Structure 1
Amino acid sequence: MIAKISTPLNLGSPTLAATTASFRNRLPTQMRRCIPLYVGCVVLVLFIFNLSLFRSSQQHVMMRPPFSAKEHAPPAKVRDDFPKKIWQSWKVNPLQFERKHADVARSWAEKNPEYRYEVLTDGNEMQYVEEHFGPMGFNRPDIVDFFRDLKDAIVKADLLRYLIMYAEGGLWADIDVEAIKPMSKFIPPRYDVKEIDMVVGVEIDEPDWNQHPILGPKSQSFCQWTFMCKPQQPVMMRLIEHIMTWLGDVAKNQTASISDVHLDFDQIISGTGPSAFTEAIMTEMNILAEKQGEKKVVWDDFHDITESKVVSRVLVLTVEAFAAGQGHSESGTHDAKAALVKHHYHASNWPGAHPRYNHPAYGEVEVCNWKDECVRKWDEDVAAFNKMSPEEQAVVVGEKERERQEKKEREEREKKEREEEDRRKEEEKKKEEMEELKRKWREEEAEAARAAKGETTTTTTANAEATKGAKKDDKKP
């Protein structure tokens, strides 16, 4: 007879109880004692595993997704219009502007009173980048750290404009760019603003020299000293990330930190300036063109254009719009109807810190200002120079150096003579003004003397008449 098993479980069935008792009797006593321990270990492992998963899931929820997941994606909400904001940056705030900067900057506010005008300075630009690209903004710590490490003024200035345009959009204008016409004229009425994401103008349109070893990369570009952009445009982020990658590679090649790299003029133009700006825009144009099954966009689409055109949501204005008065690229003058701004070129002296290529004998080819005959002569001279022996080259360099020195001394003499002539004219002008003042003083003194004499005569006559009248009264009875 099988004894009834005492168990907290309500097994109910005698058959099940008998089977359980039989199985228990077959297990060693020590193993039976360890079963609760084994079960406890399994429960503990499962608890720890689930707790880990819980924490992991909580961390995933709290973390922002990496920006690369949305890289170059269109903005979540496309704006129909351009923000009414005008942006500039300079070393100091507008209250401390020099007269030349203040007059030019004032033109934007005067011609566009309905727009917000803002200037970022050396003192607050880092705060702006941290605010918009830090954890509470686009969460791009790599961009914030990169900007903080930059020391080169022109690289920071170029990058800052792209960061601003990506973050908030509006209009960018360099501090030495004057508004000629109000911004209501920037987009011709025949266009639908909803169909435009950027407004740019041609700056250099000299494609005949696109294979030139020095001028080539600069021969066809859009103007970046003035442009308009809606916020969060992929082209701006593409440009920002290009600069970060490019400068990182330069620093690596120079075995230097980003803050210590040395860049020449052409590296600035192609790395952060107009050439980089143009390449990013052309790339974005072709991405959209490919999606829509349209032909590839090339510079010929903008060469010698006589009126504006929209290509892949970018309104491209003629060279006169933003770059009139250059003396090349058929840019016309600032009196032209199409001219919208005037670039005074008086703000930064950054080329002094980033010199152009300067041939030891023939100097900079840029002095030709894209004049065909001058550029060809420079190329021929350089080609002939390269065929000379080192001794012959030294002779040519010496002659050219003497010519440059003589030219410099002549220019300094002429400058001194002009300054002396201006000083002499200024002294003559001051002398004439002083003589004129003396003449006026003499006339005023004479007039005052005449007035005083006339008053005295009148008073004497009146007194005499009064005395005579009094005597007559005395004779009356």
Structure 2
Amino acid sequence: MPTFRKSVFAAICLIAFVYLLRSTRPSDIPGAPGYKPVPDIFTEEQNALRNPRRNGKSSLQQPLAPPPTAPLRERLRFQFPYNLETQFPAYIWQTWKYAPSSKYFDADLRDMEASWTEMHPYFMHQVIGDDTQRHLIEYLYGSVPDVFEAYDSLPLAVMKADFFRYLVLLARGGIYSDIDTRALKPAHFWLPEDLDRKTIGFMVGIEADPDRPDWHDWYTRRIQFCQWTIVAKPGHPILRDMVAYITEEALRMKRAGILKVGKMDRTVMEFTGPGAWTDAVFRYFNDPDYFNILPGDKNVAYEDFSGQTTHRKVGDVVVLPITSFSPGVGQMGAGDTDHPMAFVKHMFDGTWKTDPSL
């Protein structure tokens, strides 16, 4: 049971975090092309709340909320609507056991963490510590309690870390990147200048393209999308699907009494990790609700991305080649860190493997 002092400390952390989210900067800051300054986001939200009616009509223009018994995806769609034409929010999200201000923050992570702030001086960069993460999810998903229940029930820290990235991006959008990554180029250079940002809502990179017969001994999928760095506008359908999938599977296993270490009928890779993540991306590419798929059309599959060396746009999603988020791995066609398409370097620290609960 948490002590009263710990509970008060956690509450203070949450209040401080919300305050940071609502903090402002001078309005003349140029910002980053294609990314919306965080102060502007909250100014719009506050104006909508202060002026709920214009000419007798609600300025929010939202329909009635679905009932609590409505399907989870419908409730998520209402709470976190997707607007393709908005800019990417200028957030950078990372998680770690401790905040950078803590004396316990790992010294070998400081340069990597700092690279994100140095490359993105006009972004709001947040490293969410373990003591704050749970409270933030409860704050963001208070209106969808089954999501928080699922998050709170996950038995492994790595699962919570996986789930957190999808949850925070669905609710707030921006960039998520693992703490053991280094920013090589500012995010507004990750897309060609002639590509209209109002037609893009999501960016994902290829993690693995193992063109070898024993690929399944090393990876979960023939083409595997990376989840250590993701860029999204809030409410994107891929994130909604992933959050719903993890929530439904977690609660199903909880009711069956198997949401426990050593008893689950899903591995981490297939439950919250890159296998499940890659499946969610491909489900979106082949969903007739979002794409004009005609009878006889071939499904989008791994063959469409194998050997990719530059950007590829599929609907509102840009798929980046393996070089972008996995430069320097020395295989599968990845370029080095000085390649023009190299944007993020993952150091493959693998700290989740040291989780004592595994």
* Fold equivalence (TM over 0.5): yes
Residue matched to 2:229: 226
The one-letter code matched in structure 1 to 2:96 is: W
Q: Secondary structure of the equivalent of 2:287? A: helix
Higher relative contact order (CA 8 A, sep 6+): 2
d(CA) in 2 for partners of 1:106, 1:321:
20
Residue matched to 1:243: 246
Please give the residue correspondences for 1:371-450 in structure 2 after superposition, counting only pairs within 5 Å: none
The one-letter code matched in structure 2 to 1:82 is: F
- Residue 169 of structure 1: CA displacement? 0.4
TM-score, length basis structure 1: 0.55
- Residue 343 of structure 1: CA displacement? 0.9
Contact 2:170-2:240 at 8 Å conserved across structures: yes
Residue matched to 1:267: 267
Going from structure 1 to structure 2, the CA distance change for 1:290 and 1:92 (only over 3 Å counts) comes to closer
Which of residues 336, 340, 364 in structure 1 aligns to 2:343?
Answer: 340
- Residue 285 of structure 1: CA displacement? 1.4
Contact 2:222-2:302 at 8 Å conserved across structures: no
Contact 2:155-2:261 at 8 Å conserved across structures: no
Residue matched to 1:197: 201
d(CA) in 1 for partners of 2:341, 2:106:
29
Going from structure 1 to structure 2, the CA distance change for 1:145 and 1:104 (only over 3 Å counts) comes to same
Which of residues 96, 106, 118 in structure 1 aligns to 2:114?
Answer: 106
- Residue 119 of structure 1: CA displacement? 1.4
- State the structure with more CA Rg: 1
Going from structure 1 to structure 2, the CA distance change for 1:291 and 1:77 (only over 3 Å counts) comes to closer
Aligned length: 286
TM-score, length basis structure 2: 0.72
Identity of aligned residues (%): 29
Contact 2:76-2:144 at 8 Å conserved across structures: no
Range 123-132 or range 288-297, more displaced: 288-297
Range 298-307 or range 172-181, more displaced: 298-307
Please give the residue correspondences for 1:18-167 in structure 2 after superposition, counting only pairs within 5 Å: 65-66=67-68, 68=71, 70=74, 73=77, 75=81, 77-96=83-102, 97-134=105-142, 139-167=143-171
The one-letter code matched in structure 2 to 1:171 is: I
Greater helix share, structure number: 1
Superimposed CA distance per residue, residues 31-52 of structure 1 (whole angstroms, 9 cap, x where no aligned partner)? xxxxxxxxxxxxxxxxxxxxxx
Q: Secondary structure of the equivalent of 1:310? A: strand
Q: Can you give the 5+ residue segments of structure 2 that lack an aligned partner in the other structure?
A: 1-63
Going from structure 1 to structure 2, the CA distance change for 1:247 and 1:196 (only over 3 Å counts) comes to same
d(CA) in 1 for partners of 2:95, 2:355:
20
Going from structure 1 to structure 2, the CA distance change for 1:263 and 1:188 (only over 3 Å counts) comes to farther
The one-letter code matched in structure 1 to 2:208 is: I
- Residue 327 of structure 1: CA displacement? 2.9
Going from structure 1 to structure 2, the CA distance change for 1:286 and 1:71 (only over 3 Å counts) comes to farther
d(CA) in 2 for partners of 1:211, 1:71:
38
Superimposed CA distance per residue, residues 242-277 of structure 1 (whole angstroms, 9 cap, x where no aligned partner)? 122334455567x43x3x23279x811121111111
Going from structure 1 to structure 2, the CA distance change for 1:78 and 1:190 (only over 3 Å counts) comes to closer
The one-letter code matched in structure 2 to 1:307 is: T
- Residue 121 of structure 1: CA displacement? 1.2
Residue matched to 1:312: 315
